[in-house]
Every structure is written in structure tokens, then in C-alpha cells.
């Protein structure tokens, strides 16, 4: 039982650290990180709560830097009025 608890806590800590570094890389302007963070916010995945405005913010930053998938996502979001009110 003790090993299971330790494994669960270790997994949770790894997820937190991974998310923390993704946010730092996105803030530093790395377009792949900006895209991934925007995707996480759009879909509510990888421990991130869904937030369309935050998703639009990060995806737009990546799109402006030429990230093709981010450009596609921004297009769909604008078409559907998601996060760009």
C-alpha cells in the first residue's frame, strides 16, 4: 500500500513539474510550448481546466510565429466564436 501511495504522489509531482516547465517555455516565447499550452486550455487536458480565452491567447501567440496547427486552431476558434469575444 505504501508503494502505491508513493507512486501516485511521484506521478502527481512529475505532472506538476511538467506543466510548470511548459508554462515557463510558453512565457519565454517558444512557439511549440505556446501551442501545447493553448491546446491544453482548449481541450481541458493534461491537468489544465478548459479556458477558451486562455487557449485563444496562447494559440494566437504560436500562430503569429508560424505554427501551422496553432493557425488552424485559431481559424476554427474564430469560426466558432470560441474565446475571441
Q: Which pLDDT value is given to residue 19?
A: 77
Confidence (pTM): 0.81
Q: Which pLDDT value is given to residue 85?
A: 66
Each residue's pLDDT tens digit, 19-48: 788 999 999 999 999 999 999 999 999 878
Residue 67 lies in a domain: yes
Residue 85 lies in a domain: no
The tally of domains found in the chain comes to 1
Quote the CA–CA distance of 71 and 19 in Å, as a whole number.
23
The boundaries of the domain holding residue 60 are: 2-80
Quote the CA–CA distance of 77 and 59 in Å, as a whole number.
10
For 8, the 3-state DSSP assignment is helix
Residue 23 lies in a domain: yes
Amino acid at each position: 500500500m505504501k508503494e502505491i501511495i508513493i507512486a501516485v504522489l511521484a506521478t502527481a509531482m512529475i505532472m506538476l513539474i511538467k506543466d510548470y516547465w511548459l508554462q515557463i517555455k510558453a512565457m519565454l516565447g517558444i512557439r511549440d510550448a505556446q501551442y501545447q499550452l493553448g491546446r491544453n486550455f482548449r481541450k481541458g487536458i493534461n491537468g489544465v481546466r478548459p479556458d477558451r480565452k486562455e487557449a485563444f491567447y496562447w494559440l494566437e501567440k504560436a500562430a503569429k510565429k508560424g505554427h501551422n496547427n496553432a493557425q488552424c486552431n485559431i481559424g476554427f476558434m474564430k469560426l466558432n466564436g470560441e474565446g475571441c469575444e
